[in-house]
Amino acid sequence: MRKIFSLFFLLLIQIPLCKALIIGVSPDRLEFNRKGQELQLTIFNTGDAPGEVLLEEGSGSFRISQQRVRVEGEGHSSVMIRAIAPCRNSTLRLKAIGDNFGFEIGVPLSLECEKARPNAAVGLLLSFGIACLGIIPGAVRKIKKN
């Protein structure tokens, strides 16, 4: 019985442990407020195997500081992403490549359109004209009370 247990124990130590590449990003969505704004994306590897991450954005609306990033086991790396075209939505594709495997994740990117703001001077002049100059034609004939 001891020989069988010893043999089983020797076989068990010979089994190689599996190393993994586990990629995560922070934040999980990048929302830009204006053209030219730059935001940071951090890529984490919570596994113990090192790997490379390829970053691709297909629309050309965003500029990525590094196209290829090496992330060590239990490490992290950061890239900067800049919005270069107004009013666009896109997806940043991250392709993780390990020794014998690979996978892909996506990070949504969006750049909101700037909303047209009313001109304060035009609003002030219009209010002045209505109030002081009596631009609104017509006369009030009757006022009902509810």
> Could you tell me where the beta strands, DSSP code E, fall in the chain?
23-26, 30-32, 38-45, 51-57, 62-64, 68-71, 76-83, 89-97, 102-111
Q: How many CB atoms lie within 10 A of CB 76?
A: 15
**93 contacts 62 by C-beta, under 8 angstroms:** no
- Structural domains in the chain, CATH included, are 18-106 (2.60.40.10)
pLDDT at 75: 94
Per DSSP bridges, beta strands 38-45 and 23-26 are antiparallel
Residue 28 structure tokens: 């999980």
Range 83-102 average pLDDT: 84
pLDDT of residue 19: 75
Secondary structure of residue 2 in the 3-state scheme: helix
The confidence score (pLDDT) of residue 136 equals 55
Query: 79 pLDDT band (50/70/90 cuts)?
Result: very high
Q: What is the pLDDT of residue 88?
A: 79
Q: pLDDT digits over 105-144, tens only?
A: 888 888 877 555 555 555 655 565 555 555 555 555 666 7
Q: What is the pLDDT of residue 109?
A: 85
Q: Which residue has the tokens 């730059």?
A: 38
Q: Give 10-31 pLDDT, tens digit per residue.
A: 555 555 566 778 888 999 888 8
Kindly report, residue by residue over 26-70, the tens digit of the pLDDT. Answer: 998 888 988 899 999 999 999 888 999 999 988 888 999 999 999
Model confidence at 85: pLDDT above 70 = yes
pLDDT in the model for residue 141: 65
Residue 101 pLDDT > 70 = yes
